[in-house]
Every structure is written in C-alpha cells, then in structure tokens.
Structure 1
C-alpha cells in the first residue's frame, strides 16, 4: 500500500513562509535592545558613536586612536536603519529570516527533483528550523553591536556558495550568478563587519570556488566559470569603498588599524621580540616589553602606563598571568 506523503502547493508555501516570518518578527518585538553607555567604549559605544557621525555626514567622526580600531560596517547598518526609520531588533530579525530562506532554497536541489510539492515541504521545514534557531535571538544579539547581524551575513555567504555548488553539479545547467551574488553580499558585508572575518570566510570561499571551477571546466561551462569571480569582485568593491572613504577623511588608506597600517606594523614588530616567557596567551610578555623600552626611546613613555598605571592594570592585565593577554595588550 502506497503511503501518502505531505504535499504543498506553491501558493500555500509562500503563505506559510510569510506567516513564519511574521511570527518570528512578532516574537522579536517583545525583546529589548541594550547598549552599554559608558561601559563599552571599545564595543557598543564605539559603533553607536560612529553611526551618529555617519548620520551627521561626518563618516566615522573625528580621527583618534579608536576610530579605525575595528571594521566599521555595523555603524553603516545602524545609520541605514535610522535613515529608513526601521526598528533595530526587527530589522536584524528580518535580515536573519532572509538568510534562512536563502539557505533553505540553496539546499532544495537535494530533494525537489523527484517531487516538487514534497520538496517544498522539506524546504519550508528547513526554513522554519533556521528562522527559529535559538542562537538567532540569544541575548548577545540584543546588543547594539555587530553580533546582531554578523551571523546572518555569514549565513548569506555560506548559503550562496552552497546554492551555487549544488546547481553547478546538476546535469541541466542552471544560472549560478544569483547565488554567487548572495555569497558576495555576505562575504563583503561580513568581511567589513569584523576585522577577523576573513580568517574563516575566505578559506571556505577559496575551497568552494576551486572545487566548483574543476567541475565547470570539465563540463566546458566557461560563462559559469567566469561568474565565480562575482563574490571576490563584490568583496574588492566593498573594501575599496571603505578604504577610499577612510583615506578621504583621515588620510589612511586602510580598513582598520587592527590589520594594516602603522599600528599593525608596530604590533607585529613588538611580537617578534625574543622572550624567555613560556606563559600561554601572551603576545608581548613583560621581558620583551623591557627590551622594547630600552631599544626604542619613543616607546619608553609607555612603560609607566603599561606597567604602573592602576587603571590600565585593572582594565587589561590578567591577574592570573600577571600580564597582558594578546587581545588585552592590543587594546592597552
């Protein structure tokens, strides 16, 4: 006896998708955003202040030691929401729902070939699971900080690359550029949202592109092969735009001081100084700093602040190691 499987028309599918999105946004509407005013000058407050400057037409504000300390896409997002009069948490949830729906469709070739209606059931189920993923509305997403949108940007990227790859191996050629554009948007915005994003986004992108390029070359699909450049061109355009704006306003052609420029070069030089310390997590231990103070007169004034100032000791020094951990030393 043949079992009846759940079936779903196209119209019903989209109605249910809309209802799920409305439910997800409604649940988010009961949550409250928070910002650590005066308590997070390196995080929430930094981004919020930069967004105010963008809204006032002053790019990221006056240039000081914090202005380019991080990647600054999130202030652009905040300024955009302000210009469009959109609520912060609802907009973040909507961005996540869009990424979840993109991911659900990205994997749909795995199950819709035999029965399109049953395939829509599985696509809807995957969308529902992703849309209501607990991590997408966890407490860290309520901060007025880049963690609110970064998971969604990563999901757009991974979904775009997966959707492209699954269609590239199909016997019947399918357009790949929409998925590559989605991947490019996620890659560019994610890269500009966090200064460390490239460490795990770019290796995945390179692996996916390389594998798919071999498949496409074997099938002589040269146009689709050329389209593999789309995510990287979008990333390049985004980086060039930010670097140009930073150069126009501050004379610094860089995304952030964290990864490039004079401060990054100085950090690299200090971390290359020989040390006798074997304590973990220390990038520039105390004995290396002593050598630096003695060898570089310009840095000698830092000795008081890094070694004696009570506020810096309290804020950044690890009491267990009695020294600065890598990230803490960077900020100190």
Structure 2
C-alpha cells in the first residue's frame, strides 16, 4: 500500500513540475512583440491577406500570380487561431508546447522513467530558437518548428509501436495528416516526407521480425503504413479540391505541381557551364531560351531592359538571385498579361 502511495505522489510531483514549467514557458512569450516587413509581396503581407480571406470565407481571395505560390498551412492555422480568439504569439507558442508533449508521448515506449521524460520535455520546452527575433515576425517561420516537431513525432511514435498494431494505428493516421499539413505549411518540406517513408519502412521490417511466428498478425502489418498514406493523400485531395472549386486548378500549390512548376523546371534545365548555386537561371541561359521559346522571348524586355522595374531584383554579380528569380518570373508573366 505504501508503495502505491509513493508512486502516486512521485507522479503528482512530476506532473506539477511539468505544469509549472509549461506555465513559465507560456508566460515568457507574453513579452514578445510581433512585427512585420511591409511591401513583401510574397511573404508577410501576402500570407496575412490570405489568412484574412480565409476568415472572411473566400478561401485565398481573388486569383492572381501569388494565390498558389505558397502552401495554405500557415494562413489556415492563423485564421483558425483568430476565429477562436487566441492571440497570435500565444497561439503559436501554445502550439509548440503541444508539439513537445506529443513528442514525449511518441517516445514513451523507449523512455526509461517519468523523470527522464520530464527532463526531455523541459529541454525541448525552453529551446531558445523560439525566442529569436525572426520568429516574432508575422510570417510562417513562427510555427514551422512546431509543425516540424509534430510531424517528426507522429511517424516516430508509429514506428516505436511496431509490437502493437492497435496503438500504432492512431499514430499512423496522425502522421499522414501532420506530414501532409507540413508540406502545405512549407511547400519545400520534402525532407519530412523522406523521414516519414523511412519510419514506415522500419516499422514494417521490425513488425515482420516481431510477428514472424504469427501469420494472422503479419497480414495486418501493412495496414498501418497504408493508413498513413491514405490520411496524407486525404488532406492533399481536400486542399486541391478546394483550390479547384475556387480557381479551377486541382493542385495544393504551384510550387511543386501545375503549369508554373513545369515552366520553371524547363527553364532551369538549360545547361549552364558556369553554374553558380546563387544563380538559378543566368543571363547566358536566358539568351538561349529567348531564341528557343517565342513565349519566353515576350518576357525579354521585362527581364533584361535596364529601365525595367524588375531589374531591382538583380542582386548577385549582375544576375537574378536563385530565390528571387522564381518570384520575378511570376511578376513578369503577370505584367505580360498572362496570369488570369
């Protein structure tokens, strides 16, 4: 009887400490100030306007060259927090707290004791990056580390529960949804998809070895990674379906798919003997393309003329910098009257 009381008290102490640290962590975020950078057509202002449009019930607003350039995850999450009246900074720091808790729950099968879990939780909770100036900016960076941690935890939790299909199913479904959301939060989050696939492979191999003597259980092993895939595709199909309803494009964003992705991919495949990672499509490549493509030649004055407003994007050795050229291309095509 004394042993049970002792265990109960130790758990209460552990939980009380965790609650105290959580309260302190959330209190610290109250001193942070939000800022944004104006005139950022593809960053702060664009994503804020999308969040406002979602709140107003018109999805991402009127269609233009910036509508599908980035995933809907951040505007969607920001609109959700606004609709339930949670302050911006507090909401995203609360999201991080939840992500930390999810990680601890995910690794429970390999956690030696509650005190180890408390130390790990505290270590994650007070990660200093969350208080950096960049992450108080009115931009999607504020939530990406939380989304990434959540998306990292779910496949890990699924993988660590290879001995029990029932307990791994919920993690698999949440893993698919979280990975899919992460890709829509930052459209260049493919590293998380590789990680999710790796966890699924390890899960299948580990489960096959563990259940090698039980043929009935072995037949159910693929159920878990299949559910992960289904839930991943379900979210993507829903977002693509909404985009199709509003804009006529069945894609989640045009960074990874659609006509823009194909066009930019074709442009970037032109050979450049003096390849520089800071320059996506050098002037020498563009000159070749003007001769090969009448459509691209229509953009020549916008891209090359000294008095063109788009030349302000020329930053590296008289060239358009890699990250900027993708935005310049959109603006130039829009200026030529092709974005409708």
Residues 35 and 143, structure 1, Cα contact 8 Å, conserved in 2: yes
Residues 165 and 221, structure 2, Cα contact 8 Å, conserved in 1: no
Please identify, of 75-84 and 229-238, the stretch whose mean Cα deviation from structure 2 is larger: 229-238
Q: TM-score, with normalisation over the residues of structure 2?
A: 0.86
Q: What is the deviation of 1:281?
A: 3.2
Q: Select which of 168, 176, 196 maps to 2:188.
A: 196
Q: Structure 1: which 5+ runs fail to align?
A: 1-5, 113-118
SS of residue paired to 1:274 = coil
Residues 53 and 61, structure 1, Cα contact 8 Å, conserved in 2: yes
SS of residue paired to 1:22 = helix
Please identify, of 268-277 and 44-53, the stretch whose mean Cα deviation from structure 2 is larger: 268-277
Q: TM-score, with normalisation over the residues of structure 1?
A: 0.88
Show the 5 A alignment for 1:43-82: 43-82=43-82
Q: Which residue of 1 aligns with 2:201?
A: 210
Show the 5 A alignment for 1:101-120: 101-112=101-112, 119-120=113-114
The one-character-per-residue Cα deviations of 1:201-224 (angstroms, maximum 9, x if unpaired) are 111111111111012123143435
Q: Which residue of 2 aligns with 1:141?
A: 135
Show the 5 A alignment for 1:88-237: 88-112=88-112, 119-168=113-162, 175-198=167-190, 200-218=191-209, 219=211, 220=214, 221-222=217-218, 223-237=220-234
CA, structure 1 residues 298+133, in 2 after alignment: closer, same or farther (shift >3 Å)?
same
Please identify, of 46-55 and 262-271, the stretch whose mean Cα deviation from structure 2 is larger: 262-271
Moved over 6 A (4+): none
1:245 correspondence with 2:231: no
Cα distance in 1, alignment partners of residues 144 and 227 from structure 2 = 21
The one-character-per-residue Cα deviations of 1:268-311 (angstroms, maximum 9, x if unpaired) are 12122233434443332112211222232222231122112453
Cα distance in 1, alignment partners of residues 111 and 258 from structure 2 = 49
Q: Which residue of 2 aligns with 1:271?
A: 268
SS of residue paired to 2:167 = coil
- For the aligned residues, what is the CA RMSD? 2.1
Q: Which residue of 2 aligns with 1:84?
A: 84
Aligned length: 315
The one-character-per-residue Cα deviations of 1:68-123 (angstroms, maximum 9, x if unpaired) are 111111111111111101111111111111111121232233243xxxxxx11111
Please identify, of 290-299 and 49-58, the stretch whose mean Cα deviation from structure 2 is larger: 290-299
Q: Structure 2: which 5+ runs fail to align?
A: 1-5, 329-340
Please identify, of 122-131 and 304-313, the stretch whose mean Cα deviation from structure 2 is larger: 304-313
SS of residue paired to 2:252 = coil
CA, structure 1 residues 25+166, in 2 after alignment: closer, same or farther (shift >3 Å)?
same
1:327 correspondence with 2:323: yes
Show the 5 A alignment for 1:22-41: 22-38=23-39, 40-41=40-41
Q: Select which of 253, 256, 279 maps to 1:256.
A: 253
Residues 301 and 308, structure 2, Cα contact 8 Å, conserved in 1: no
Q: What is the deviation of 1:327?
A: 1.9
Cα distance in 1, alignment partners of residues 221 and 118 from structure 2 = 28
Q: What is the deviation of 1:229?
A: 2.4
Q: Which residue of 2 aligns with 1:116?
A: none
Q: What is the deviation of 1:23?
A: 0.9
CA, structure 1 residues 65+217, in 2 after alignment: closer, same or farther (shift >3 Å)?
same
Cα distance in 2, alignment partners of residues 283 and 32 from structure 1 = 36
CA, structure 1 residues 47+234, in 2 after alignment: closer, same or farther (shift >3 Å)?
same
